[in-house]
Amino acid sequence: MRTYLSLFLTLLFFSCSQRTLPPEPYGALPSDRQLAWHEMETYCLIHFTPTTFQDKEWGYGDADPEIFNPEKFDANQIAEAAKLAGFKGLIIVAKHHDGFCLWPTETTDYSVASSPWKDGKGDMVKDFMEASHANDLKFGVYLSAWDRNDTRYGTPEYADAYRVQLKELMTNYGELFTSWHDGANGGDGYYGGLNEKRIIDRSTYYQWHEKTWPIVRKHQPMAMIFSDIGPDMRWVGNESGKADETSWATFTPKGIDGRQPVPGDSDYSNAPTGDRNGKFWIPAECDVPLRPGWFYHASQDGEVKSPDDLFDIYVSSVGRGGAMNLGLAPMPNGLLHDIDVEHLKGFGEKVKRTFATDLMQGAKLTASNVRGNRNSLYGTDLLVDGDRYSYWATDDDHTQGTLEIELEKTQEFDLIRLRENIKLGQRIDSVNVFVWADENWKEVAQATSIGANRIIKLEQPIEASKLKLEIFSPVSIALSEVAIFKEAASSNGQLNKELNILSAEHMEVREKGNDKFIEKLTDGKEDTNWEGSKSKTAIDIKLDEPVALVGAGLLPRQDGKSEGTPTHFRLMGSADGEQWFEISSGELSNIQNNPTWQRLFFEGKKMRYLRFISERTISDAPLVLSEIQIYLADQEGGSSL
């Protein structure tokens, strides 16, 4: 008996001594809900409130609920379009800044219950939830913290009501994949008819950490909480849908002047890049509207992003370790426009065809080191098995590694996809990519911040039969995938209508009171700016002759800064430069976060002079613009210019 026991202990010791342990995790690690979110990669955000019916980008909260009556509303049409495009989830804007609630809440009368839609008995949040599930999409909600309608806004009573609204959404609509919050807080509003500006202490008003987010954690533990600083995913810092070339999933939120970072009161200058070795795993969500604005505007029917545009955003968001959140904007009738549906379909087909065939199939992979020489556990075959969490690993003392790939035959490709096993952290610092050409290794690409997903897009397609990766890491490597693809052509492309833009040679642009021409505003260069003499100023535009005009366009500064960007305006017209009439006025909503062309269309009028008046700018700095455009009526309308 002792002999058998001794032999068993000897064999056990020998077995343990031969076992190769997996790499130790490195740095901040993703939670289970974050892992599930990384696997989704794409989803959509739907804006549809009375603001849609007002043809505004941000509603003031003054719209009569009677205008909200989408006669053809079909949540399934919208969900089907998202599904066809390959998206994995829908987020409904249950309440935007206008304060109108798309569900019959107990906290306010300003909701669908007061509208004629479904005789006040509808619940649009429920409709979108059911349509999402019917199309195998996950469901989430957005609840604006700012409420431009509620007369209680700015008082403790509103903050309490906001948390009641959040609890209603967290408990009445099944499992949610996200609870989405942004930093828009305080400013001009209707506020029950008071029509005033209200400023709150963003650092304390909502008690995000103490009272508000715990509601989400209690009732929806797998829901990702979004804000500009997390806690589960961060804003990428722009609304173009693109992360920086280097974008770490690890991130350390920063407060302002030593305060605790909260939505709308944080320093997110590091949001596009993240932080190497950041304190928390807070990857970037890249949000972008399908149209220039988040809400539907008929004037933007000719500016829907094409399938190629969307694919470029996909590569620059999902392909940089983040998620792609695409904004969809139903028309007042409650349906997506045919152009939107067609472009979504084209994008889905392009992604599907591009990634249908991994050109690595049948390749021979050779690594400079395999952890413990245990190929079955950590070998290169695991790079091509389609499992995000099986991985090739190196020994602890091999923090640099080389991977050579010999394809079955020469292949043409322009996309390289790499993934790490992020359950072990974001380990790799950088990768150099080479191809074998002219009897030598030629470097064709470099990349950093691999993480959950890194798509390297080459400058042009190349043909090769052999590749080599040089990988650099502070710890042992744990790479889960190497794949190569050829970008597919779009089956349906740009359906957008061209604008009839007046040539710059037919107009003179001056700041009011200054005889000097402003050439920078009509030079066609979006990287140059013109700065006015003060914040509240005017730009006068004189045409060669009177002509039928239908609009004017303003491009804000494109240099990443916002000071001097106009937020409130008036547009005037004149036939003779003496007698002026007002064409339109209002707010250039969300221009700071989404500095795209601001196109101000109006009913066609024959005139020779236009005047753009800047009523207010960001930081009250002197007005800054990049470009100006004037839009003519259709050519058959008789313009001689």
Predicted pLDDT of residue 72: 97
Written as six digits, the tokens of 233 are: 């995913």
Q: Residue 18: its pLDDT value, please?
A: 55
**Cα four-point dihedral sign 454, 459, 462, 465:** negative
Task: Tell me how far CA of residue 460 lies from CA of 321, 413, 417, 486, 588, in angstroms.
Answer: 22, 9, 16, 10, 39
DSSP assigned state of 237 = S
SS3 content of the chain, % helix, strand, coil (to 5): 25, 30, 45
How many residues are there in the chain? 641
- Listing DSSP states for 344-400 in one string gives HHHHHHHHHHHTS--TTTT-EEEES--GGG-HHHH-GGGGGSS-TT--EE--TT--E
Residues 487/414, Cβ–Cβ less than 8 Å = yes
Ordered DSSP codes for 611-625: EEEEEEEGGGPPPEE
Q: Are 325 and 287 in contact (CB under 8 A)?
A: yes
Residue 616 CB neighbour total at 10 angstroms: 15
Q: In this structure, which amino acid lies at residue 240?
A: S
Strands 280-281 vs 250-251: parallel, antiparallel or unpaired:
antiparallel
CA-nearest of 610, 601, 604, 609 to 636 is 604
- Looking at residue 597, its pLDDT comes to 87
Closest CA to 549 of 464, 611, 627, 490: 611
* Cβ-based neighbour number of residue 360 at 10 Å: 22
**Residue 245 to residue 251: CA distance in whole angstroms:** 16
Alpha-carbon dihedral sign for residues 72, 57, 581, 571: negative
The residue behind tokens 């959950």 is 452
* 14: three-class secondary structure by DSSP: helix
- Asked if the peptide bond before residue 231 counts as cis, ω within 30 degrees of 0, the response is yes
Q: How far apart are CA 122 and CA 126, in angstroms?
A: 9
Residue type, position 465, single letter: S
- 234 beta partners: 227, 284
Q: Are strands 138-143 and 178-180 parallel, antiparallel or unpaired?
A: parallel
Q: Find all residues with CB under 8 Å of 560, minimum gap 6, and list them.
A: none
The single residue listed with the structure tokens 């079909």 is: 74
Q: Do the beta carbons of residue 300 and residue 432 sit within 8 Å?
A: no
C-alpha radius of gyration, the chain, whole number: 28
The residue ranges of DSSP E strands in 421-536, in sequence order, are 430-437, 440-448, 454-472, 478-485, 507-511, 530-531
Q: Which two tokens stand for residue 519?
A: 């050439």
Q: Residue 9: its pLDDT value, please?
A: 43
Question: CB-based contacts of 183: which residues, under 8 Å, 6+ apart?
Answer: 202, 227, 228, 235, 263, 264, 265, 266
Residue with tokens 């302002």: 256
Closest CA to 206 of 239, 244, 165: 165
pLDDT less than 70: residues of the chain: 1-18, 491-498, 635-641
- Residue 492: predicted pLDDT: 57
Residues near 131 by beta carbon (within 8 Å), at least 6 away in sequence: 75, 76, 78, 79, 90
Q: Is 404 exposed, middle or buried (0-12, 13-18, 19+ CB in 10 A)?
A: middle
